[in-house]
Amino acid sequence: MASKPLPPKSYGVLLFPGFQSLDVFGPLDALNILSGQTPLSLSILARTLDPVSTAHIYQVNFSQSIVPTHTFSNPPTDLEVLLIPGGFGTRDEKETEPVVEFIKSVYPRLRYVLTVCTGSAILARTGVLDGRRATSNKKAFSWAKSQGPNVNWVAKARWVVDGNIWTSSGITAGMDLIYAFIGEMYGEKVAEEIANGSEYERHTDPDEDPFAELFGAVDQMLRVIYREERE
């Protein structure tokens, strides 16, 4: 009987201007706590070493910034897990093109890729998701699907696992994903202890996103508005 692979130790977060803060800090907080029990390393990756802001066109006067530790041209050689957040910045094709190219270059040597919200739309642009099952933010589901027409998008899922790729729905779904990931890699008891210590009430069914029906109607309305504007 083959032994289970050792859990990953080296994590990286990929940043771009206009990333969604909780997409990053939700999963990282759980990993911060986990790192007190098992040795982990964290890299913050971006195009340059300049601070990367959450600011976007709808939110310019209230934002936060993170200082990267590595650039796309000089990533850590031992990177095992890459977390890709979403946010309004994912809509900027010019700004995220270096992100797409970096993922293409680094994916073959990664053990796992985790996406939150419309981070899956960026991943879809790389072609890595072609033929795989994935999900995304239900409020922006049509747009996410347009970024990867060859992806098997799952409309109702809270998160989806296909091989070594884990994709999740909108924003807080990233926290459910990371707890599920911790449970799979380090043991469900560990995940439950961290969630309870954080006073976080988990969604534990990956196939049931409570916001899918609500935002499905919103998504349909936005598609109609967008079509009318174009006409």
Contact 126, 148 (CB under 8 A): no
What average pLDDT does the structure give for the chain?
93
Which has the higher per-residue pLDDT, 25 or 60?
25
CA angle 7, 13, 17 (to 5 degrees): 170
Other CB atoms within a 10 A radius of the CB of residue 187 amount to 12
Q: Which residues are catalytically annotated?
A: 117
Q: How confident is the model at residue 142 (pLDDT cuts 50, 70, 90)?
A: very high
Mean pLDDT of 160-170: 98
The confidence score (pLDDT) of residue 60 equals 79
Mean pLDDT of 8-21: 98
Domains, the chain, ordered by start? 10-230 (3.40.50.880)
pLDDT surpassing 60 at residue 19: yes
What tokens does 131 get? Answer: 């033929």
Q: How confident is the model at residue 1 (pLDDT cuts 50, 70, 90)?
A: low
The confidence score (pLDDT) of residue 2 equals 62
The confidence score (pLDDT) of residue 219 equals 52
Mean pLDDT of 115-144: 97
Q: How confident is the model at residue 73 (pLDDT cuts 50, 70, 90)?
A: very high
User: Which residues sit opposite 153 in a β-bridge?
Assistant: 134
Q: Is 148 helix (H, G, I), strand (E, B) or coil?
A: coil
The separation between CA 162 and the C-alpha centre of its own chain, rounded to angstroms, equals 14
pLDDT surpassing 80 at residue 56: yes
Q: What is the pLDDT of residues 180-226, one digit of tens each?
A: 999 999 999 999 999 999 999 999 999 999 898 888 744 554 454 44
